[in-house]
Structure 1
Amino acid sequence: MQLHPTDSIAVIFCAQRTGTGDEAYQSAAAAMAELAAQQPGYLGEDHARSADGMGITVSYWRDDGSAKAWRDHPDHIVIRERGRGEWYSEYSLHVARIERAYDWQK
């Protein structure tokens, strides 16, 4: 985890995996993480996944325009549609403005 500037945007993606196509999913997820990191306004991301396939990815963006540009990136659109068809049984997405941020590590 890393501290992100206040007044930045967090895109919170919560998804339940179907459990099919694991290798293709891992490949696509890695490619999307790499592509997102190359986008203007990208600040980082955090991930968590439970044993039952429920996952959360939070991506951080400098501003709402940067987050929307990522949403509308043609390669991201293709993978999002593939996710809906193959890899996810359900998902939700939330966009929030970061007003405060704290960081700690041992």
Structure 2
Amino acid sequence: MTDVAPASLPAPPYYAVVFTAVRTAGDNGYAEADERMMKLAADQPGFLGVDSARGANGLGVTVSYWRDEESIAAWRNHAEHALARGRGREHWYASFALHVAKVERAHGFTRSAEQ
């Protein structure tokens, strides 16, 4: 078994912000900023959780979950997050896309240790 698992979330409805990106070469301070943004987001009112993965081809997908659109807007407008977004456009991303969706239904599965 692994310690990695999807985010534990409340029953819908809630919102998902899907950030899909291809990184540029080199770190350029990305790892430190990413860690800081994850911690900062987790402290924001309305933040529910996050799932993130990066494929061998360099495509990364991060899905953050939020209670409501107001919480998403507050995070988008957070001063430190705004600075990081600017650095992303300048240094870290070759391309990215952002999608916001309302989650109406959700279900999951966790294998027990006996299975």
Residue pairs, 1:38-49, within 5 angstroms? 38-49=43-54
| Matched ranges for 1:74-93 at <5 A | 74-93=79-98
Structure 2: state its 5+ residue gaps.
Answer: 1-5
State the shift of 1:3 in Å: 3.5
Code of the residue aligned with 2:76 in structure 1: it is R
1:11 aligns to 2:17 (yes or no) = yes
Q: How many residues align?
A: 105
Which residue does the alignment assign to 2:105?
100
Query: Which structure carries more relative contact order (alpha carbon 8 Å, separation 6+)?
Result: 1
Rg comparison, structure with higher value: 2
Distance in 2 separating the partners of 1:41 and 1:5: 14
Q: 2:39 & 2:82 partners in 1: Cα distance?
A: 15
Contact between 1:42 and 1:61, CA under 8 Å: does it hold in 2? Answer: yes
The answer as to whether partners of 1:19 and 1:53 remain within 8 angstroms in 2 is no
Q: Distance in 1 between matches of 2:96 and 2:47?
A: 22
Specify which of 35, 39, 64 is matched with residue 69 of structure 2: 64
How far residue 4 of structure 1 moved from its aligned partner, in angstroms, is 3.9
Consecutive aligned runs of 4 or more in structure 1 exceeding 4 Å deviation: none
Residue deviations 1:6-29 (CA, integer Å, cap 9, x gap)? 110100000000122x26111110
For the aligned residues, what is the CA RMSD? Answer: 1.1
Structure 2 CA distance for partners of 1:23 and 1:5, relative to 1, 3 Å: farther
Gaps of 5+ in 1: none
Q: Please state whether the residue corresponding to 2:21 is helix, strand or coil.
A: strand
The TM-score with structure 1 as length reference comes to 0.94
